[in-house]
Amino acid sequence: MTDEGKVTPLGVPQAGAAAALPASAAVKAPAAAKGATGAAAPAAEMSRRGFLSTLGIAWTTFAAACGAGAIATSRFMFPNVLFEPPQTFKAGFPAEFLPDTVDNRFKEAFGVFIVREQEGIYALKAVCTHLGCTPNWLEAENKFKCPCHGSGFYRSGINYEGPAPRPLERYRIVLTDDGQILIDKTKSFAYEKGEWGSPEAELKV
């Protein structure tokens, strides 16, 4: 169609579309291209620049629409309703917890140990700080022991053996209006950040 030797390659973004055109010969070498373009596309109804910019706008719009659709679709992977135990729950009245005991009742469903000391109650997060397994409370040995890699924690949650690099975390623990203990798993307190001193990290009784 065109004289290949005289066609100047285009450096436009729409390379695929542009390559199919009779190329820029019409602009750069009018004499050579006159016959060719005249024969292929009689009386340009749309300028070359106009065609390319329309094409650019069309592709940009299409790509943006595809991108927006993909982002919207990714929301599909994040369900609104979870069939999991709630993040906050009432654990009963403080008087139900005997001093110097570890309560295992909320471990299975909520992943929480509730520990009652003489002067306070705190909720330990039952997730090992090594790799995230669930430690067990060993009453006879008076310690938490992780079955995965053998990390051990005192009743306070402080680590003392095995690979765990830091103490167990504590969840927010407060009293509700009706006097029950409320455990809030959306907020946790880390010993190494000095957060155990926070009034919500331990419930004074």
Partner 1 sequence: MLKKLWEYTRNTQVWNSIFRHGPPDNARNRGLAVLTNVFLHLHPVKVRRSGIRLRFTWCMGGITFFLFLVEVATGLLLMFYYHPTVEYAYVDIVDLREQVPLGVMRELHRWGAHAMVVTVWLHMLRVFMTGSYKPPREFNWNVGVLLLVLTLLLSFTGYLLPWDQLAMWAVTVGSNMARATPLVGHEGPGASLLKLGDISLVHAGNDARFALLAGRFVGAGALLRFYVLHCVGIPVVATILMAVHFWRVRKDGGISGPV
Which residues sit at the interface with partner 1, rule CB under 8 A? 77-79, 82-84, 111, 131-133, 148, 186
With respect to partner 1, which residue has the nearer C-beta, 111 or 120? 111
- Pairwise CA distance, residues 189 & 171, whole Å: 6
| Smallest distance from partner 1 to CB 197, Å | 20
| Beta carbons within 10 angstroms of residue 138's beta carbon | 12
| Smallest distance from partner 1 to CB 192, Å | 14
| Smallest distance from partner 1 to CB 89, Å | 14
With respect to partner 1, which residue has the nearer C-beta, 79 or 179? 79
Q: Write the CA distances from 73 to 65, 76, 78, 193, integer angstroms.
A: 12, 5, 10, 39
Nearest residue to 131 via CA among 163, 156, 97, 175: 163
| Smallest distance from partner 1 to CB 67, Å | 18
